[in-house]
């Protein structure tokens, strides 16, 4: 009698034999790797950034992905140069069938074209929107009501490859970029394993990215990017604060009672839309219970903040020890 093997059993066999190399660095990249390992996918190696000096003592710090890889005894490479022959030789020795990239670096073609099934990337936006380094931040800053994750095969132009999968989440009015980061991190973990399953099955359709629509960019965020422009509307300012909270944090400058200019990071605000007579950017406070700024169409009241060198605190706690006034 003929013997039949279920497609599920075939998938399980291929799942355990498909050789996966995983590339990533920050916390966002840990959850997909963790799910691959715990769901018994065959991760044969991990590539992450070299250890970097950080903190006051400039001690070498391991990436979040490296820490996880060491905990699970996964083979690890930390190349300085992705075109280095020593690294390329070691990568080839892993004989990957598929490479997965989550929050890593731009790969040269010699790397992403190495596996027979190619290399796919998990990007934290609904591509083609928010190509770039900071997609989660900019989606919140721009006041979007939804975002999501995309898996796509790499090609030469960054974040432009054919889409394998997308999945959406809502952005609520009271959520900040930290909240959305965590939503997308867990969603992304599931989408990564679902994408691997599709590749194993061969039952998927690649969708070219739509280049005809108006695209919103997601450039890297620098310190100057984080300065609050009080001439904007109160809603724009609230979204700006949400889109940079808790990290790297929106900031403005104020003066204390001794006329010293202080940098003030702002993490949480509420807004009041109303006609005002003061110019934008005026600080209003009783130096006891409230602190608010004027915008183009109302007031922005600050609830959580941080002075340089101090811990994050509520406004009332800060005002007990520091009297503030507006920078003229």
C-alpha 110/C-alpha 103 separation (Å) is: 19
Residue 6's pLDDT is 44
- CA-to-CA dists, residue 195 to 8, 199, 210, angstroms: 16, 6, 20
Q: Set out the domains of the chain in order of their start, with CATH numbers.
A: 7-201 (3.40.50.170), 224-326 (3.10.25.10)
Q: Check: CB of residue 45 under 8 Å from CB of residue 75.
A: yes
Residue 66's pLDDT is 98
Record the pTM: 0.93
* Strand ranges inside 192-323, DSSP E: 250-256, 261-273, 283-285, 291-295, 298-307, 313-314
Q: For residue 240, how far is the Cα from the chain centroid?
A: 16
Q: Where are the alpha helices (DSSP H) in 43-176?
A: 64-71, 85-93, 109-112, 135-141
Which two tokens mark 102?
Answer: 């989550």
Residue 3's pLDDT is 41
Residue 59's pLDDT is 81
Nearest alpha carbon to residue 150 among 122, 170, 111? 122
C-alpha 230/C-alpha 252 separation (Å) is: 9
- Main-chain dihedrals φ then ψ at residue 94, nearest 5 degrees: -75, -15
Q: How many CB atoms lie within 10 A of CB 281?
A: 18
Which pLDDT tens digit goes with each residue over 174-228? 999 999 999 999 999 999 999 999 999 998 999 999 999 999 999 999 999 999 9
Cis peptide before 318 (omega within 30 of 0): no
Q: Check: CB of residue 301 under 8 Å from CB of residue 286.
A: no
Which two tokens mark 26?
Answer: 């920050």
Residue 1's pLDDT is 36
Low-confidence ranges of the chain (pLDDT < 70): 1-13, 55-57, 328
């Amino acid at each position: 009698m003929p013997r039949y093997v279920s497609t599920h059993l075939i998938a399980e066999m291929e799942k355990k034999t498909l050789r996966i190399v995983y590339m990533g660095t920050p916390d966002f990249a840990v959850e997909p790797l963790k799910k691959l390992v715990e769901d018994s996918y065959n991760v044969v190696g991990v590539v992450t950034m070299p250890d970097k000096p950080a903190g006051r003592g400039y001690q070498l710090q391991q990436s979040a992905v490296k820490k996880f890889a060491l905990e699970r005894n996964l083979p690890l490479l930390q190349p300085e140069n992705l075109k280095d022959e020593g690294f390329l030789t070691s990568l080839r020795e892993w004989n990957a069938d598929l490479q997965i990239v989550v929050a890593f670096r731009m790969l040269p073609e010699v790397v992403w074209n190495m596996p027979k099934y190619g290399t796919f990337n998990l990007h934290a936006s609904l591509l083609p929107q928010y190509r770039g380094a900071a997609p989660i931040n900019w989606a919140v800053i721009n006041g979007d009501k939804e975002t999501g994750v995309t898996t796509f095969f790499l090609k030469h132009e960054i974040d432009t490859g054919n889409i394998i999968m997308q999945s959406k989440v809502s952005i609520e009015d009271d959520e900040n970029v930290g909240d959305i980061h965590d939503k997308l991190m867990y969603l992304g973990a599931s989408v990564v394993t679902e994408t691997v399953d599709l590749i194993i099955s061969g039952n998927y359709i690649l969708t070219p990215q739509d280049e005809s629509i108006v695209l919103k960019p997601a450039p890297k965020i620098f310190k100057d990017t984080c300065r609050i422009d009080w001439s904007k509307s109160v809603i724009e300012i609230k979204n700006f604060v949400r889109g940079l909270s808790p990290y790297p944090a929106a900031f403005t400058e104020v003066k204390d009672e001794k006329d010293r200019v202080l940098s003030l990071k702002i993490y949480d605000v509420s807004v009041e839309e109303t006609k005002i007579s003061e110019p934008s950017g005026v600080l209003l406070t009783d130096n006891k219970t409230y602190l608010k700024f004027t915008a183009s169409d109302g007031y922005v009241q600050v609830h959580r903040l941080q002075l340089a060198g101090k811990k994050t605190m509520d406004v009332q706690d800060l005002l007990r020890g520091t009297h503030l006034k507006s920078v003229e």
